Structure 1
Amino acid sequence: MKLITERHNHVALFIFAIGLCCALYINKNVSKTWVEQSYIYNIYTSTSGLPAYKYKDQEIIITNSVPYDESLLSQENLNNRQPPAELKQQWVIDDKQQLTLLKPAFHFSLWSLLPAFITIALCLLTREPITALFSGVVVGAVMLGEYNLTDNVIIPNLAKEGTAAILLLYLWLLGGLLGVWTKTGAAQAFADYMTKHFVRGPRSAKLVTWLLGILFFQGGTMSTVLVGTTVRPLADKAGVSHEEMSYIVDSTASPIASVIALNAWPAYIQALIFVPGVAFLATESDRLKFFFSSIPFSFYGILAVIGTLLLSLNITKFSGKRIRAAHHRAATTGELDASHATPLSAKELQHCHVPDGYQPHVLEFFIPLLSLIAIAVITFIAYGSPQVNWAFGGALLLSIFIALGKGMSLTNVVDGFGIGLKGVVVASVILMLAVIIGNISKEIGGGLFLVSQLGEQLPFWLLPVILQLMTMVIAFSTGTSWGTYAIAFPLAMPLAWAICQSQGLANPELFMAVCFATVLNGSVYGDQCSPISDTTILSAMTTGCDLMDHVKSQIVPATLAASLAAMLWTFTVLIFA
């Protein structure tokens, strides 16, 4: 085993060296291909009489616009010259007097996939995500000519609002909450209570996890963290392998959000699917109606959720060899991780550190958890999206106040908080690097290149599967489904409509709905299976699983569901479109 590991490390070093040489070559010799990116907003006339639109609940006034033909960011001009560095975006007026926002983007053709390839290859070879992610960051930065990694790449990315929010939530709030629960014994008390009253063994523990995943259908990091944090203690006590738990948590996060879409997804995605001249996509309400009418075609999301239900019922036939082996290992030996595993959560969070004389109570877990859920739900109703930081911050403060009120010393509470930070710091570093490599992959245009390869001459029945495969690759290589939506939808939907028109389909709205569902679901698959996705990392972290064990074990059942979905989409358009 040691010899194999050393050989893999040598291969990984060789791949990194080749990737670095390629990155230097690309930076010096490969020209950027510039592409026009257009964005349609719901424009209205403000009280000042000027056109305006809403962005993150803020009114943005449009003060300057130019005719489309005169814009330096139009595709014709981009084909002839590189856009001015200071011109990041420009409002234009098209032939129909419609305002559209143009932004320039570029790609290096197939080379744009290099950082993601290096990262994923090294992840698989070394099982060391920090090294792999950092290697991908280095290769991507060199491609962009950014040799000062600290000042020009890492710090600017860490300084972004979204990255800072991840640091706040997953290091301080989540880590602190887990640490305080470890110190008070709340998590263990919850596990004991659930085991006594509800959970009778591994199957019921997995069913509880599955049901919570369905219940928290907001999707993404919120569902992953909430479900994983809640079920970890009872699943460990019931003897469920960490590979099974991380798969159930991950596969009932985004997949269920694409099926029960009572969340922030429709509002975000509808802005990306406007197609000029298509009546059923004309207004925001039309696009929202189209979104919900397409849900029955979310075959991957439906099959992924069914697959986790079968696993929860101990039906492992469709779960793949790795999950079956993990299930058998936990059942026969009691070992929740493989012998080679390096769980993302530190050992400090796997044991209680209750001070002498302190009596844990299950309400110390339930009350903060209920407050967390309540804050998330109330803020979702009030603001349109759950305020995750508020929710976890409130739960953390409540846990601290309860512990202090029961007589625990402030020193012990702070010690518990520190234990929590220590327990998640490695996972937080991985998350930071995943965010950076995702931003770099987006900037160098890997997804943009893949989408640009599609053409109107495709047979209509091939388009859904091609869109699915394309978005799977983009999301897998960038680690984000929402980022993939921003790349794919504005290009895929007009292409689908053009194919409808050129090939005379009898049911164009159904065909568009299927193509929409393939982009939606393909992105979910890629995000779910990617080792650089935040939800993948968090699923492993909150359930105590080794990251690469989680990635390798879930990719088989996820791919089976995706393959069945591809067949269903193809049959649907062949028969009904």
Structure 2
Amino acid sequence: MDGSMFIGTWWSLVPPLLAIVLALATKEVYSSLFIGVAVGALLYTGFQPWEAFNVFFDTMKGSINLNILIFDVLLGMIIVLMAKSGGSAAYGNWAGKRIKSKRSAMLATTGLGVLIFVDDYFNCLTVGSVMRPVTDRFKVSRAKLAYIIDATAAPICIIAPVSSWAAAVNSYVPADAGITGFQLFLRTIPYNLYALVTLVMVLYICITGFDFGLMRKHEANAAKGDLFTSGGEAFEQIEQEDAASSGYVVDLILPVAVLIISAIGGMIYTGFINGAGDVISAFANCDAETSLIFATSVTILLTFIWYIPRKVITFKGFMDSFVEGFKLMIPAIAILIFAWSLKGIGDRMGIAAFVEGVVGANASASVFVPAIMFLVAIFLAFSTGTSWGTFAILVPIVTAMFPGADTIEMMIISVSAVLAGAVCGDHISPISDTTVMSSSGAQCNHINHVSTQMQYAAVVAVICVIGYLIAGIVKMWWVALGSSILMLLVVLTVMKKRTEAKYGKVTADEDH
């Protein structure tokens, strides 16, 4: 093919980077992703228009994950049903009587995010739909809500042994790595500096009320009653429907509980079907996507049995919620389809081979490897918008770099750095599916979420680079993690004092 001169070279990075630059510059994500995929197709075919056209649509068809789309639509239906039943509004009223401050509202959102550890998609949309009425009551900006959701989604899943992410990482570890995938995952948890330090940062920000950069502007606007700052028009109708509803808290709690229990049960069951001998290995071998579809299907059946006889909602209203849920998820689905297509065109362009060649040629078994792998993973996840794709590319490379038993600790630290960097890159990428889901769950303008979260993630990322340098030297997790958390607290405290000196004291504990 004439376009072979571009494949497997630095040109493979052009499509995702172009899409990201355009998205941040234009604040319009659909056209940016479309252009990125189109340019990738042209590069792949050597600028032959008709061939590029075919590659574009072949890539799109081949990249779509139908299971995730079905899950999104069904979860959208559940969100609409909970709103129509009055469950979301009732929970907001119930929580409003018990949650007395903005600080408590943000901490409750964080706590719920930590509890829903099974899957990041499930986490993002569920936490958003449940806590949105509560945070709105206390004038938490949608950008801040999206940040809290995103910061307790992937970071929690990547350190939770019982999650779809643990299963993914387990599947990427070669059989000859000298350690099983699940054992490796467990040992990476205390070295996963980005995930753990991010959680500390969320708690610090929620407790102190400190905000900086663009988030400060969003919070200032929210205090005046403007929760969106911009891009809120698409969500106004949904807000009005939520506000007009009345119901009982159980109408929200019961579906959420069934959703969680069904998801966990489905993962265990599919794990045993796939040959697992115990519960732990069942999670490592589960079919997460099928389990999530099963869980949403069971929950919809439950809501039908629970709502219809009590006349909480009419039969027609119940069936209409499928279409309404589809409409609710259309922005997220559209971005996901284009983001998957962009990853697909990246695969065709040989982005994995290019990164593997660069890393393999320049990395060696030294104390700098964890920090280097952290930065490489950030770049790759940022460019492709996928954590799991980054795992798939880099984890086998890292395990191959440390083949002996005497280098097992360095392998664990380096794999941890890959996992951490992938989550960080995922957090700052506008084409990340998890970031899209967080925006959707919070009903926040997507670019607003990306631009505010990027600044917060950058602070943690810089600290983690230093933390992984320390980890490579001392090879003790508690030293690396402890020093990273200490650095974060010092940096945030200094930033807070400077901000207060310039703008006045900030508090998160104002009553409303």
Tell me whether the two structures share a fold, i.e. TM-score over 0.5.
yes
Q: Aligned partners of 2:81, 2:51: CA distance in 1, in Å?
A: 39
Q: Which residue of 2 aligns with 1:40?
A: none
On the 8 A contact 2:103/2:209 being kept in 1, the answer is no
**How do 1:9-408 and structure 2 match up within 5 A?**
28=2, 30-31=4-5, 107-145=7-45, 147=50, 152-154=55-57, 157-158=60-61, 163-170=65-72, 172-196=73-97, 198-274=98-174, 281-282=177-178, 284=180, 287-316=181-210, 319-331=211-223, 333-338=224-229, 340-342=230-232, 346-352=235-241, 360-383=247-270, 384=283, 385=286, 386=288, 387-407=291-311, 408=313
Q: Deviations over 1:293-333 (max 9, x none)?
A: 232111111101111111221442xx5312222223222x0
- With structure 1 as the length reference, what TM-score do the two structures score? 0.73
For residues 131 and 243 of structure 2, what CA distance do their matches in structure 1 show? Answer: 20
Q: Answer 1 or 2: which has greater helix percent.
A: 2
> Shift of residue 353 of structure 1?
6.8
More strand by percentage: 1
Structure 1 residue 569: Cα displacement = 1.1
Give distance in 2, aligned partners of 1:179 and 1:250: 21
Shift of 1:547: 0.6
Q: Distance in 2 between matches of 1:353 and 1:222?
A: 20
Cα 1:413–1:272 change in 2 (3 A) is closer
Helix, strand or coil at the partner of 1:136: helix
- Answering whether residue 416 of structure 2 is matched by residue 517 of structure 1, we say yes
Deviation (angstroms), 1:487 = 0.8
Corresponding pairs, count: 454
Paired residue for 2:449?
550
**TM-score calculated relative to the size of structure 2:** 0.81
* CA deviation map 1:481-519 (0-9, x unaligned): 11111111112222345xx89xxxxx6232222111111
1:114 CA displacement:
0.8
- Residues 484, 542 of structure 1: alpha-carbon distance in 2 compared, 3 angstrom cutoff: same
Residues 364, 401 of structure 2: 8 Å contact kept: no
- Which consecutive residues of structure 1, in runs of 5 or more, have no partner in the other structure? 1-26, 33-106, 502-506
Aligned-pair CA distance for 1:158 = 4.0
Letter in 1 for 2:57: I
**TM superposition shift of 1:436:** 1.3
Amino acid at match of 2:96: T
Per-residue CA deviation, residues 54-98 of structure 1 (Å, 9 max, x unaligned), is xxxxxxxxxxxxxxxxxxxxxxxxxxxxxxxxxxxxxxxxxxxxx
Instruction: Rate the CA distance shift 1:191–1:518 in 2: closer, same or farther, 3 A.
Output: same
Q: In structure 1, what is the Cα distance between the partners aligned to 2:243 and 2:324?
A: 12
Tell me what 2:492 maps to.
none
Contact 1:115 1:139 in 2 (8 A): yes
**Following TM superposition, by how much is the alpha carbon of 1:366 offset from its aligned partner in structure 2, in angstroms?**
1.6
* Residues 320 and 553 in structure 1, CA contact (< 8 A), matched pair in contact too: no
Counterpart CA distance in 2 for 1:184 and 1:457 is: 56
For 2:469 and 2:295, the matched residues in 1 are separated by 42
Contact kept, 8 Å, 1:346 with 1:422, in 2: the verdict is no
Pairwise CA distance, 1:204: 1.2
Asked if the contact 1:299–1:568 (Cα under 8 Å) also holds between the matched residues in 2, the reply is: yes
2:238 and 2:303 map into 1 onto residues whose CA distance is 16
Name 2:377's counterpart in structure 1.
471
Q: Alpha carbons of 1:370 and 1:29: their partners in 2 closer, same or farther (altered >3 Å)?
A: closer
Other structure's SS at 1:453 match:
helix
Secondary structure of the corresponding residue to residue 300 of structure 1: helix
Unpaired runs of at least 5, structure 2: 271-282, 477-512
What is the alpha-carbon distance in structure 2 between the residues aligned to residue 576 and residue 523 of structure 1? 21
1:359 to 1:551, Cα distance in 2 relative to 1, 3 A: closer
The separation in 1 between residues aligned to 2:232 and 2:357, in whole angstroms, is 40
- Distance in 2 separating the partners of 1:252 and 1:382: 26
- Preserved CA contact (<8 Å) 1:530 1:536: yes
